[in-house]
Each structure stands twice: as C-alpha cells, then as structure tokens.
Amino acid sequence: MLALLEDLRTERSWRLLVRAFIEELSNSLPGKVRQVIALPSPDDRIYDSNVLVVLEEDTPEGSLEVMRAASRAEESMKVGGIISPLVIGPEDEEAIKRFKHEVQEG
C-alpha cells in the first residue's frame, strides 16, 4: 500500500492529476509500485521529470506500463503531456533523495 503525502498548497488540478495517476498505477501494476513522489508543480523538473515512480524492479515492461498509466490518467482529466515520469528501481537512492528533498523544500 502506498502512503500518500500531499501539500495542499500545490495547484489543485496537479494534485487531482497525480491522484488519478496513482490510481492508474495501483490498478495496472498491483504490488509493483513502492513510491510515487510528485514535485510541487508540473513545471518543476528533476532529470526532466516531475513525478518519480519507484518500482519493486525497474524493467522495460514496467516502465512502459507507467507511461501508459500516465496517458490514461491524463485522458481521464482531459489534459495531455503534463505527467513526465521518471521510473526507477529502489536501488537508485540518489534520485529518491533528490525528489524527496525538492518536495520538502518546495
């Protein structure tokens, strides 16, 4: 189960889109997603991404499904090209630290 931490100062439409994305991920990759860390704004970027998705194991198939989940979430919110996910495995501690730091500082 994913824990959810939301900063209510962020743009409401961004929060709703991230929630839809998390729902899509939990449906399409059950038990395979460890963390989802969204930056405070869709315009913020780390490694050209605004959402970090940590999978139990980073595989090409998992990455493809994350991209599909992003598309489905955007379609459900009638937007496009907003979610830019970075998909990693749990061993990429540097990326996790950078995203967490940005969220805490944001």
- Does residue 21 lie within any of the structural domains? yes
- Does residue 35 lie within any of the structural domains? yes
Other residues' Cβ atoms within 10 Å of the Cβ of residue 87: 21
- Does residue 60 lie within any of the structural domains? yes
| CA distance linking residue 33 with residue 90, whole number of Å | 10
Q: What is the CATH number for 34?
A: 3.30.460
Residues in the chain: 106
Per-residue pLDDT tens for 69-105? 999 999 999 999 999 999 999 999 999 999 999 988 8
* Global pTM value: 0.93
- Does residue 31 lie within any of the structural domains? yes
Per-residue pLDDT tens for 6-18? 777 789 999 999 9
Q: How many domains does the chain have?
A: 1
| CA distance linking residue 33 with residue 21, whole number of Å | 12
- Does residue 61 lie within any of the structural domains? yes
Mean pLDDT across the chain: 93
Residue 98: domain span: 12-105
- Does residue 2 lie within any of the structural domains? no
- Does residue 92 lie within any of the structural domains? yes
